[in-house]
Structures are given as structure tokens and as C-alpha cells.
Amino acid sequence: MAALVTLWRTSGDNTILSEAEEVAIAAMETTLWTDGNGLLTESKGQVDNEDGVGFRSIMIRALVRVYKSTSDQSVRTEIRGFVNKNFNLMYTNARSGDAYDVNWYGPFSKRTVWGQFVAIDLVGAAAIVNTQ
């Protein structure tokens, strides 16, 4: 997604942005790394600093790039809903004071550096999709 947005920005070819939008929608709906209902589940239950934990951050950041680039309101609405669902689950179920669990769906199990990193990406994404 992010690479397609970069290609679109450099080329000005709107078909590339359309492809990025299609990939974003498919990425949010696949059951390979989501539950099919908007929850990002890659590496569900994992608490160690593994690639799957980082994948969530990368995917959220890529979705935000598509969100900021597209004028298609249906795509923006779906991305906003996806980000908000994950943010709300993290904030409600995976938080202990000012610490966040690496697993956004909860419950909070332990404070880790990588849990805070992925939470920061999700908080930033929620701020962007709810203000732009």
C-alpha cells in the first residue's frame, strides 16, 4: 500500500492510487491477518518482539498513507472504521494506566517496549483519521 502511494505521488498516475485503495480494502478484510470483522490479529497472543508485532504497525501506517492520499470517501470511511475499532479495543481492553499491551484486543498482560511502539502507531493513526 505504502509503495503504491509513493509510486502514485511520483507518477501522478491515478490508476496506481486506485490499486492502493483496492489493496487497502483487501488488507482490512482478509482473514490472513484480521478476524474478518476489522480486528488486526497478526501474531495474536504473542508478547515477544517478533516480526508479527511490527507488522501491525507497518500495516496501520500504510493504511494511513492511503487514507491521507485518497479522496474516495468510502475508502476513507472503511480505513477510519478499521483504525477506530483497533484503537478502541486497545484503549478499552489492553491498557493498564499509561501502558499498552502488544495485543490490542487485550487483556493487558505485560508492559513491553514493543507494546508501547505499536500503541503509538495506533494512537497516531486514530488521531489522523479522526481529524483529517
- What is the pLDDT at residue 112? 84
What's the grid cell of residue 84? 477506530
**Chain centroid, CA 7 distance in Å:** 21
Q: What would the pLDDT profile of 91-128 be if each residue is shown by its tens digit?
A: 999 999 999 988 888 889 888 888 888 899 999 999 99
Structural domains of the chain, ranges and CATH numbers in brackets = 2-129 (1.50.10.20)
Mean local confidence (pLDDT), 1-21: 97
Better pLDDT: 95 or 46? 95
User: CA end-to-end span of the chain, whole Å?
Assistant: 19
Identify the three-state secondary structure at position 95: strand
Torsion on CA atoms 42, 79, 83, 41, rounded to nearest 10: -10
Q: What would the pLDDT profile of 53-63 be if each residue is shown by its tens digit?
A: 788 889 999 99
